[in-house]
Amino acid sequence: MRYISTRATGTPPSEPKRFCEILLEGLAPDGGLYLPETYPQVDSATLSRWRGLPYADLAFEILSLFVDDIPADDLRALCRKTYTEEVFGTAAIVPLTRLEDGLYLQALSNGPTLAFKDMAMQLLGNLFEYELARRGEELNIFGATSGDTGSAAEYAMRGKKGVRVFMTSPDGRMSPFQQAQMFSLLDDNIYNIAITGVFDDCQDLVKAVSGDLDFKRKYKIGTVNSINWARLMAQVVYYFAGYLQSTKTNDERVSFTVPSGNFGNVCAGHVARMMGLPIAQLVVATNENDVLDEFFRTGVYRVRGTADTHETSSPSMDISKASNFERFVFDLLGRDGARTADLFGSQVPRQGRFDLGADPAFAQAASRYGFASGKSTHQDRLATIRQTWEKYGVVVDTHTADGLKVAQEHRQTGVPMLVLETALPIKFAATIVEALGREPERPAKFAGIEALPKKVSVMAPDVQAIKNLIAQACD
């Protein structure tokens, strides 16, 4: 298996890479995103063989199709070390809850930080440690977070050899629960940095530090953002797990609704479908930041400015552009790297948008690739949280509520709809209180975390000061 960039030109595209070469990388050198040269195909006999496999072994089977430069025994061991009942709370790892006939929640948020990002990040932590040891290298992850990504990264990398995490977040802007989750990590290799500013200030710092190529090389600066291929690959596994749990034979099809921001999660669903998993529809659910819903309705992809990016009660989907979307557009355009480069490398930076509405390829997004979409607002969210509680006795978080709301608009008779639950309600307690008039349940292991000792440095958004901090930690 080799990987190419979505902006690669020429046949065959220049310099395909192997998995471990792109594992620690973000963007391809040409600014594109990595994708496998072809999608491995899973036939019906294989799918049947996978029925009943424990999650870790299913993960191994699927990852083996994408990774050929880690010995099989090592890869299996990494999967078994990652996907344990101890870390993810149940033996099923991603259990289904039946709400009613044909409507299910698939739990992806029982990992250490109670959001689905743990599903991929926990694997990434083990893969990074393995590969860095093999190379005898170190890596300093430097990132910005407004909540879920940073804590998932820190919980995945804590105590890992060869890795340090420097995570900036806007001072005082995360929920008290999220702050407690991150800042109570006292591990030597975890550095929490609260920046006196907003999230954009944090992102600018990351850009400035990563843009200094000498510094980046000297201090081995890397990222773990959602465009990393290994994260996407790890997410493919739970689409198979959801399908296998909700069907008895491979003649059945199911649909998924996915609360979406950067298009990472649902892009993994697209990859699963391209591999032959019998998925009818992939329904993209957005909040008020409806960049993706607009595209799937009209063919227009329009990046939002800061003033147009809303702060919502499903904050992990508050995006101005969808970083992984380029991967799907590359496939939609018949894997035309030159056109993809023109759209994302030229039209988007210059005009902030492109329009495929009149392109015959656009109609295929629904007909050939199964995509549908919808949008949910704060009022929809509150209503869905209330209805789900009253009708099914289940409390869902705000992002999952967006998914459920949109899922209802796309259900088809005879096709089970699986809504991906992307976080637990305790992470977004204020909105649950607003909807239900009471606090959501808190898993026992998080009792009293707000009172734990905290390790965090508060700093001004000063590039040199941040560089000094990283340099000092490395000496």
Q: Which residues contact ligand PLP (rule: CB under 6 A)?
A: 115, 117, 148, 226, 259-265, 316-317, 399, 422-423
Closest CA to 463 of 137, 155, 221: 221
328 φ/ψ angles, rounded to the nearest 5 degrees = -70, -40
Measure the CA–CA gap between 284 and 267, rounded to whole angstroms.
Answer: 10
Q: Any bridge partners for residue 17, and if so which? A: 3
CA 218 vs CA 139, 168, 205, 213, 450: distances in Å: 11, 20, 17, 8, 37
Least distance CB 314 / ligand PLP (angstroms): 7
Compare residues 99 and 267 and give the one whose CB is closer to ligand PLP.
267
Q: Which residue is nearest to ligand PLP (CB)?
A: 264
User: Which of 312-344 are b and which e, b meaning 16 or more Cβ less than 10 Å from the residue's Cβ?
Assistant: bbbbbbbbbbbbbbbbbbbbbbebbbebbbebb
Closest CA to 161 of 184, 188, 185: 188
CB neighbour list of residue 212: distance below 8 Å, 6 or more residues apart: 467
Measure the CA–CA gap between 308 and 288, rounded to whole angstroms.
Answer: 10
Compare residues 209 and 420 and give the one whose CB is closer to ligand PLP.
420
Compare residues 160 and 270 and give the one whose CB is closer to ligand PLP.
270
- What is the 8-class DSSP label of residue 221? E
422 φ/ψ angles, rounded to the nearest 5 degrees = -100, -10
Closest CA to 435 of 314, 318, 319: 314
Compare residues 321 and 399 and give the one whose CB is closer to ligand PLP.
399
Task: Please check whether residue 336 is in contact with residue 421, taking contact to mean a CB–CB distance below 8 angstroms.
Answer: no
Candidate list 17, 117, 220, 375, residue with the active-site label? 117
Q: Would you call 287 exposed, middle or buried from its count of C-beta atoms within 10 A (0-12, 13-18, 19+)?
A: buried
Least distance CB 420 / ligand PLP (angstroms): 8
CB atoms within 10 A of CB 191: 22
Task: Please check whether residue 17 is in contact with residue 45, taking contact to mean a CB–CB distance below 8 angstroms.
Answer: no
Least distance CB 147 / ligand PLP (angstroms): 7
Compare residues 117 and 164 and give the one whose CB is closer to ligand PLP.
117
Least distance CB 145 / ligand PLP (angstroms): 10
Cis peptide upstream of residue 360 (ω within 30 degrees of 0)? no
Measure the CA–CA gap between 389 and 155, rounded to whole angstroms.
Answer: 30
* Sheet architecture: strand order including 163-170: 221-222, 139-144, 163-170, 190-195, 457-459
Least distance CB 68 / ligand PLP (angstroms): 26
Compare residues 28 and 258 and give the one whose CB is closer to ligand PLP.
258
Measure the CA–CA gap between 124 and 129, rounded to whole angstroms.
Answer: 8
Compare residues 317 and 372 and give the one whose CB is closer to ligand PLP.
317
Compare residues 226 and 255 and give the one whose CB is closer to ligand PLP.
226
User: Can 117 be counted among the known catalytic residues?
Assistant: yes
Catalytic positions are: 117
